[in-house]
Structure 1
Amino acid sequence: MPASQQRLTVGDANMTAYLSIPDGDGPFPAVVVAHHAPGVDMFIREIVDHLARDGYVAAAPDLFHRITKEMVEQTGRSKRDQLSDPDTIEDVNATVDFLRSHESVDRDRLGITGFCMGGRVVWLAACTNPHFKAAVPFYGGNILVPWGATETAPFALAEGINCPMLFHFGEADSNPSADDMRTLDDELTRLGKEHRFYSYPGANHAFMNRFMPQRHHRTSAEMAWARTREFLAEQLQPAPVG
């Protein structure tokens, strides 16, 4: 299962992406992995590698590539707080184009998952890129508010979602809260979008991350990941022949 750092071109900039490819002969379905606020760290790389072992080409782009340490120091704002939705859309689209042109990828079987701010990215990407066949946000907060150079929140773009969505929430989480979950659920139901929402008792934000013992909730994480694997297999595996 080879893993590597890839360099992608986004406009006039370069963006790295952590890529993992399954062993064996392709083409394989592919999954974009949107990272959380700490970036493409050990947890995100582990998720990418887990997906590759399950038979997906998986790639985690560095959505912070435009934001330097100097920008953080000068503004006093974190990298996450300096993200802009139009840039994020551009970065996800570049990752999609990279995967769809990769020799190991079946370009018609593409999904996306993400964690924390990456869960928000999943919703935004599903609204704005037509190539996704499955979307799996984990505890994506701030979907109801815009970020950066736009006045339109991801929530307001939900009409553009054209793939099934599986959304995981921590019952003890405040962002997204239980009220947020109901708002998102109601909107997808109103629009007739196929979706499944799960809320995990005793789980808080970042419950999937075993590298954060204070937040990790093993029972919920195992259940959520099992559901994710099943969902991705349903949506991204080829239809039976004959």
Structure 2
Amino acid sequence: MHDDTPNASSPISRREFAVTTLAVGFALSTQPVAADTITTDTTGLTAGEVKIPVKDGTIPAYRAVPDKGGPFPTVLVVQEIFGVHEHIKDVCRRLAKLGYLAVAPELYARQGDVSKMELQEIISKIVPKVPDSQVMSDLDATVEWAKKSGNGDTAKLGVTGFCWGGRVVWLYAAHNPKLKAGVAWYGRLTGKATELQPKFPVDLAGELKAPVLGLYGEKDTGIPVKDVEAMRAALKKADKPGEIVVYPDAPHAFFADYRPSYRKDPAEDGWKRLKEWFKKNGVA
């Protein structure tokens, strides 16, 4: 149980966390939302906000899980750059309908509430301040929460993430030896190293502890095909199991059905591949 008083072992108090509860609806910077956005109901599920105890307090998360049976294979869902908003919650419900405990922790909780920010503000003010080490620790804490909840079979652990979270999937596959598989949707593979974000997936190919399926768009202006080819080469050189699919003509965020970037065919194919990848690698 965490109280609100900082102490030697808890230098940041819960009161100082910028986000203590999840945003409702879609993030401001993703508006207007497409009329045909996919909405998954909660029939047969237990779904909603939970609190995850972390090293320095508590962060909010969204979890969805079948309402009967269990424990269930566990999938960490790593947010887009927009935080845990409605689309990420819906992805959790989609996974729960497949028989998973799916949980998406708010990984910007200490740095700021991005739900009311424009995209450039998120990129300049929040993203550079989120340490990779903090993200890895929070994901580990989420796994521990799932295990203690009684609903999660964390021996069958997977991770999937989108955009900002796609890069995190590769990092987490290099971090957690207990992970069975990851699916990274258009996550950055290379970049300029900083003190808080010292390595990118291409630097960590030799350290992967679980196979990762990477899903990328040929027309992604932020992740050129040459970066994808560099990652493929790094995986091959390291002799690590993994697979990268590049969809012709697909832009960045082709899975985001609430945005103009959505492309139905690659999105549906990628989702099919995700299900097969998890099943094949022990997350089922």
TM-score (norm 1): 0.90
1:53 aligned onto 2:97: yes
Query: Could you tell which deviates more after superposition, 48-57 or 140-149?
Result: 140-149
Q: Which residue of structure 1 lines up, in the alignment, with residue 282 of structure 2? A: 236
1:18-167 counterparts in 2 under 5 A? 18-68=62-112, 77-167=124-214
Aligned partners of 1:207 and 1:221 also within 8 Å:
yes
- Report the CA distance between 1:13 and its aligned residue: 2.5
Q: Which residue of structure 2 lines up, in the alignment, with residue 15 of structure 1? A: 59
Aligned partners of 2:189 and 2:228 also within 8 Å:
no
Aligned partners of 1:27 and 1:105 also within 8 Å:
yes
1:85-118 superposed Cα distances (whole Å, 9 cap, x missing partner): 1111111111122223331122210000000000
* Structure 1 unmatched ranges of 5 or more: none
Alignment partners' CA distance in 2, 1:142 and 1:88: 17
Equivalent residue of 1:130, what SS?
Answer: coil
1:153-192 counterparts in 2 under 5 A? 153-192=200-239
Equivalent residue of 1:176, what SS?
Answer: coil
Query: Could you tell which deviates more after superposition, 6-15 or 229-238?
Result: 229-238
* Structure 2 unmatched ranges of 5 or more: 1-44
Alignment partners' CA distance in 1, 2:182 and 2:143: 13
Identity %: 32
Equivalent residue of 1:65, what SS?
Answer: coil
Aligned partners of 1:209 and 1:215 also within 8 Å:
yes
Q: How many residues are paired up?
A: 234
Alignment partners' CA distance in 2, 1:65 and 1:147: 21
Larger Rg: 2
Alignment partners' CA distance in 2, 1:190 and 1:103: 40
Alignment partners' CA distance in 1, 2:283 and 2:188: 29
Alignment partners' CA distance in 1, 2:220 and 2:264: 16
Aligned partners of 1:123 and 1:143 also within 8 Å:
no
Q: Which residue of structure 2 lines up, in the alignment, with residue 224 of structure 1? A: 270
Alignment partners' CA distance in 2, 1:136 and 1:69: 26
Alignment partners' CA distance in 2, 1:102 and 1:79: 30
Alignment partners' CA distance in 2, 1:225 and 1:28: 19
TM-score (norm 2): 0.77
Query: Could you tell which deviates more after superposition, 144-153 or 174-183?
Result: 144-153
**Partner of residue 209 from structure 1, selected from 256, 259, 272:** 256
1:4-59 superposed Cα distances (whole Å, 9 cap, x missing partner): 21111221131111011123311211100000011111111111000000011000
Code of the residue aligned with 1:216 in structure 2: it is Y
Q: Cα distance 1:24–1:69, how it changes in 2: closer, same or farther (>3 A)? A: closer
Code of the residue aligned with 1:174 in structure 2: it is T
